Structure 1
Amino acid sequence: MSEDSVVSTKFRVLELFAELNDFELDSIEQWICSRSYKKELETKKLMQISERCLVKIGETIKEIVPFEAEMPSETIIPPTVGDQADCNTVNTCHVDEFLYDQDEVVDLVKVGKLKKHYCLDCNSRNVQELTLISHSMSRQSLQYIFKVLLPSDLEDKQILDVGSRLGAVLYGAYYFSNAGTIVGIEMNKEFCDVQNRIISQYSLDNNRIKVINSDVLERSDVVQSADVIIINVLDFFVDIEKHKEMWRFFKKYIKKGSYLVCNRSMADTLSYLDMSEESLNWISICRPSQLENEIFFDIEDCSELFLYTVN
């Protein structure tokens, strides 16, 4: 690092320190003086190495799926209930968070490949900002799931991702955890082909990671054997009745003691479906298992991830 770079770094550190109160500054000073940050820095570097593997996979996937990462063979219908009920084909755009992080979205807007606004009435100044949605979890969310929410030792556990699509959760579990078995279940064969292509191209251990082309409702055996079930919001892919059927199915077949990870609170999901009462006491919200690792994350970006245990 050059002398100019050192000065620039000191400037950025002072800018950050200037925003802290005395208590916060003392805490940071103690952290640095104790040199405990050295171990945490090594952990952070290892996490960055694993994340670079996911970045490479993402770049490969970008070359083989449409820009929107939505296949012509799938049916996507905006929901009519819940916190995404205001989404429709006009005001909503899908930008996959696994493929494009926030910085990449900014770059896409700059070069004109992605628009952030739509016209309300054909007068160009009367515009509304588009709602950007993602059907995948971001790389940071995946790291948070496996490095903060779930236990560190998953060697003898089976992870199930319901609706695995591009396989983001599978790759995250593969690189960020020691999970013994990682299973993705996906109805759309095109997406299954994408996942299997990535598994083959990147020489992932296919004894450890598996993709099943099926409706999850037809594979109660897979659900029953899972120790961790990860479910992304399903609103865009099933109607209300199918959605209710799926949660009744999960309640019946997910075994006691399993972990359930969702990117929307179950209280909200069940309330939207008018199922709160029939699912009362089925699950309990769970304290994150590796809270000490929160230091590696911007917590606000991971606030919509929830961990439960099945009673």
Structure 2
Amino acid sequence: MSDSELISSKSRILDLFAELDDSELNSIEQWICSQSYKKDLEAKKTLIRTDKLLTKTGDAIKKLVPFEAEMSSEKIVPPTVGDQADCTESNTCHVDEFLYDHDQVDTLVKEGKLKRHYCIDCNSRNVKELIYISHSMSRQALQYIFKVLLPSDLEDKQILDVGSRLGAVLYGAYYLSNASSIIGIEMNKEFCEVQEKIIHKFSMDADRIRVIHSDVMERPDIVQQSNVIIINVLDFFVDIPKHKEMWHFFKKHIKKGSYLICNRSMADTLNSLDMFEELMNWLSICIPNQMKNEIFFDVEDCSELYLYTVN
């Protein structure tokens, strides 16, 4: 590092320290002087390396799917209940968070490939913001799941992603955990083929990670064997009767003590389906297993991830 680069680095650190009060500065000084920051720094570097792997995986997927990451063979319908009931075909833009993070979306907007607003009556100034929807979890969300929410040791455990689509959760589990079995269940054959191609392209261990082309309700055996079940919001893919049927199915087949991770609170999901009182005692909210690792994340960005245990 040159003298000018060192000065620039010190300046950035001082900018950060200037925002802290005396108590916060004392805590930072103790953290540095105790040398414990070195362990945290190595963990941070590991996360950065994993993020690069996931980014590389996402870049490979972009070559296999349409820009919106939606297949012509799938049916996506805006929900009529719940917190996304305000979504319509005209006001909603589908941008996959695993493929395009916030910085990449900003770049796409600047390049004119994405828009932030839509006209509500054809007058150019009478516009409203588009609702951005993702059917995958972001790389940061995946890191938060496996490095904060779940236990650090998942050896001999099975992870199941319901509706695995592009396989983002599967790749996150593969690179970020030591889970022995990682399974994605996906109804759309085209998405299954994409996932199989990615698994092959990156030489992932096929004995550890696999994709099953099926409706999850036709595979109760897989659900019963799983220790961690991850379910992204289902509203765009099933109607209300099917949605209710699925939660009855999960209640029947997810074994006691398993972890359930959702990107919307179960209270909101079940209330919107008028099922809260019926299923309220099925799950318990669980505190993160690796809270010490929250230091690596902007917790507000991961606030829509919920961890439950099955009673």
Fold conserved between structures, TM > 0.5: yes
Deviations 1:79-121 (A, max 9, x none): 1111111011111101100000111011101111111111111
| Cα separation, 1, equivalents of 2:88 and 2:175 | 35
Measured after TM superposition, the shift of residue 125 of structure 1 is 1.1
CA-atom RMSD, angstroms? 0.8
Structure 1 residue 48: deviation in Å? Answer: 1.4
Amino acid at match of 2:143: Q
Residue matched to 1:239: 239
- SS of structure 1 residue aligned to 2:185: strand
Post-superposition Cα deviations, 1:243-289, rounded to whole Å, max 9, x if no partner, equal 11100100000000100001111111111111011102101001111
1:66 aligned to 2:94?
Answer: no
Residue of structure 1 equivalent to 2:284: 284
2-structure distance, mates of 1:4, 1:75? 56
Structure 2 Cα separation of the partners of residues 206 and 27 of structure 1 = 46
Secondary structure of 1:261's counterpart equals strand
The alpha carbon displacement at 1:53 in A equals 1.1
Give the aligned partner of residue 222 of structure 1.
222
What stretches of structure 1 move > 6 A for 4+ residues in a row? none
Give the aligned residue type for 1:181: S
Report percent identity of matched pairs.
Answer: 73
Encode CA deviations 1:171-216: one digit per residue, 9 max, x unaligned: 0000000000000000000000000000111100000001000001
- Tell me whether 84-93 or 41-50 shows the greater mean CA deviation: 41-50
Q: CA deviation at 1:35?
A: 1.4
Q: Scaled by the length of structure 1, what TM-score is found?
A: 0.98
The aligned counterpart of 2:158 is 158
Report the 3-state secondary structure (helix = DSSP H, G, I; strand = E; otherwise coil) of the residue aligned with 2:276. Answer: coil
Q: In structure 1, how many angstroms separate the alpha carbons of the residues matched to 2:112 and 2:7? A: 36
How far does the alpha carbon of each residue in 1:157-178 deviate from its partner, in whole angstroms, 9 at most, with x for none? 0000000000000000000000
Q: Using the TM superposition, name which of 197-206 and 46-55 deviates more.
A: 46-55
CA deviations 1:53-82 (Å, max 9, x no partner) are 111110010011000001100000001111
2:62 corresponds to which letter in structure 1?
K
Partner secondary structure for residue 160 of structure 2: strand
Give the secondary-structure state (helix, strand or coil) at the position aligned to 2:277: coil
Residue-by-residue CA offset, 1:121-153 (whole Å, 9 max, x unaligned): 111111111111100000000010000100011
Looking at structure 2, the residues matched to 91 and 11 of structure 1 have their Cα atoms a distance apart, in angstroms, of 44
Partner of 2:6: 6
- Cα deviations across residues 23-59 of structure 1 (Å, max 9, x unaligned)? 2221112111111111111111112112211111100
SS of the equivalent of 1:205 reads coil
- Give the Cα–Cα distance (whole angstroms) in 2 for the partners of residues 273 and 14 of structure 1: 51
Q: Distance in 2 between matches of 1:276 and 1:123?
A: 43
Kindly tell me the number of residue pairs found equivalent between the two proteins: 311
Who is 1:15 aligned against? Answer: 15
CA–CA separation in structure 2 for the residues paired with 1:274 and 1:21: 48
User: Match of 2:254?
Assistant: 254
CA distance in 2 between partners of 1:133 and 1:6 (Å): 42
Question: What is the CA–CA distance in structure 2 between the aligned matches of 1:177 and 1:26, rounded to whole Å?
Answer: 34
| Cα distance in structure 2, aligned partners of 1:188 and 1:42 | 40
More displaced stretch, 166-175 vs 19-28: 19-28
Q: Please, which runs of 5 or more residues in structure 2 have no aligned partner?
A: none
- SS of 1:118 mapped into structure 2: strand
- The aligned runs of 1:1-311 (5 Å cut-off) are 1-311=1-311
CA distance in 1, matches of 2:68, 2:257: 37
